[in-house]
Amino acid sequence: MTKLIYAVVVGASLLGACGGNDGVSIDDLPGYVADTECSIQVECQSSPDTATCKAGFTLNDTQSLTIIADVKAGVIKYDENAAKACFDAAAAGHCAFQGTHAKDNDPCGTYLTGTVAVGGACFVDLECVDGGSCTPTMSGCNQNTTCCPGTCAAGTPTKEVALGAMCASTNECPVNGYCKGLTSTVMGTCTAVVTTAGAACDNVLACANNMICNMTSSTAGTCYDPPANGAACDPAFFVPDFACSDSRDYCDPTSMKCTARVAVGGTCSDTVLCEGLADCVNTKCVARGKIGEACDSQNGPSCLAGTCTNSVCTKDAAGTSCR
């Protein structure tokens, strides 16, 4: 769940669930994140209901608790209005494929800002200025479970370049561009994304939202606009999860149409997919385990949340704030 704090939300918000209309206070943030995450999981069929989701929900790992304490101590600046805008901006279409390009003026990267200078003491990356990273002084230290003292290292500033200019990553290009021809040894060129479905593309990032380039690592493809439920689809699409626009659908290899994923108890296979809260076990869709229920980390079913420990789904242990 730390990813939700990190910048962050891919999904919907429960407007007004916490924090009021003017922003989300740092004290209300955990509850707001829980409501948002569970709203997404239930609607997109990754959890059967809100109560089950919240029973396995954790925002008490060491990194998350440290970030919250950092905000209260002023080590990380927190913008309540930008936080709420981040959640609200994700409110629509969260079960649908949105494309591969970041949205312009995305508020999710602006509500947490580090203040620790390069060379300063730190525990987590978000404490460091300008997108820097916290390099632990102890090798192998797990920041999710342990306070790992470190030093802020300089980040790599991303400066946007114009279409037609040389680039070292797609992040340097405008939101309507990608870094064409980039390799490990050769700079690329910022090139306008392809806007027409079915047109040729040479890079997974070459197509405008909400399309994706249907290609393998070595073969050029065409811009694919993932179809809606009931529409014709490509069962051989190279990323099966994106063969249909809605994550609750899959491309049925028999009908070649986007079809609702199979519910718990139904028959499944490598190409007939179960809904998100189930695993395909011996050709049957079996519900993933709730906290305290049985699981099998090798053969399934896995857990809805937490970790499969000694064949039982166990809630992740709470961490401790490093501040």
Asked if residue 83 and residue 71 are part of one domain, the reply reads yes
Pairing of strands 112-114, 76-78: antiparallel
The pLDDT value given to residue 215: 79
Residue 141 binned pLDDT confidence (cut-offs 50, 70, 90): confident
The pLDDT value given to residue 9: 32
Asked if residue 74 and residue 7 are part of one domain, the reply reads yes
Q: Is the pLDDT of residue 146 over 90?
A: no
| 173-192 burial: b if 16+ Cβ within 10 Å, else e | beeebbbbebeeeeebbbbe
Classify residue 240: in a domain, yes or no. Answer: no
Asked if residue 99 and residue 48 are part of one domain, the reply reads yes
Number of domains in the chain: 4
Classify residue 15: in a domain, yes or no. Answer: yes
Asked if residue 124 and residue 78 are part of one domain, the reply reads no
Residue percentage of the chain with pLDDT more than 70 = 89
Q: What is the mean pLDDT of the chain?
A: 86
Classify residue 208: in a domain, yes or no. Answer: no
Classify residue 306: in a domain, yes or no. Answer: yes
Q: Print the domain residue range for 86.
A: 2-115
Long-range pairs, 233-240, Cβ under 8 A, ≥24:
233/257, 233/258, 235/271, 238/214, 239/212, 240/273
Classify residue 231: in a domain, yes or no. Answer: no
Residue 2 binned pLDDT confidence (cut-offs 50, 70, 90): very low
C-alpha 236/C-alpha 15 separation (Å) is 39
Asked if residue 96 and residue 52 are part of one domain, the reply reads yes
Compute CA distances 182 → 111, 163, 167, 276, whole Å.
31, 14, 8, 35
Asked if residue 55 and residue 43 are part of one domain, the reply reads yes
Asked if residue 76 and residue 128 are part of one domain, the reply reads no
What's this model's pTM, rounded to 2 decimal places?
0.78
Asked if residue 58 and residue 28 are part of one domain, the reply reads yes
Asked if residue 8 and residue 72 are part of one domain, the reply reads yes
Classify residue 291: in a domain, yes or no. Answer: yes
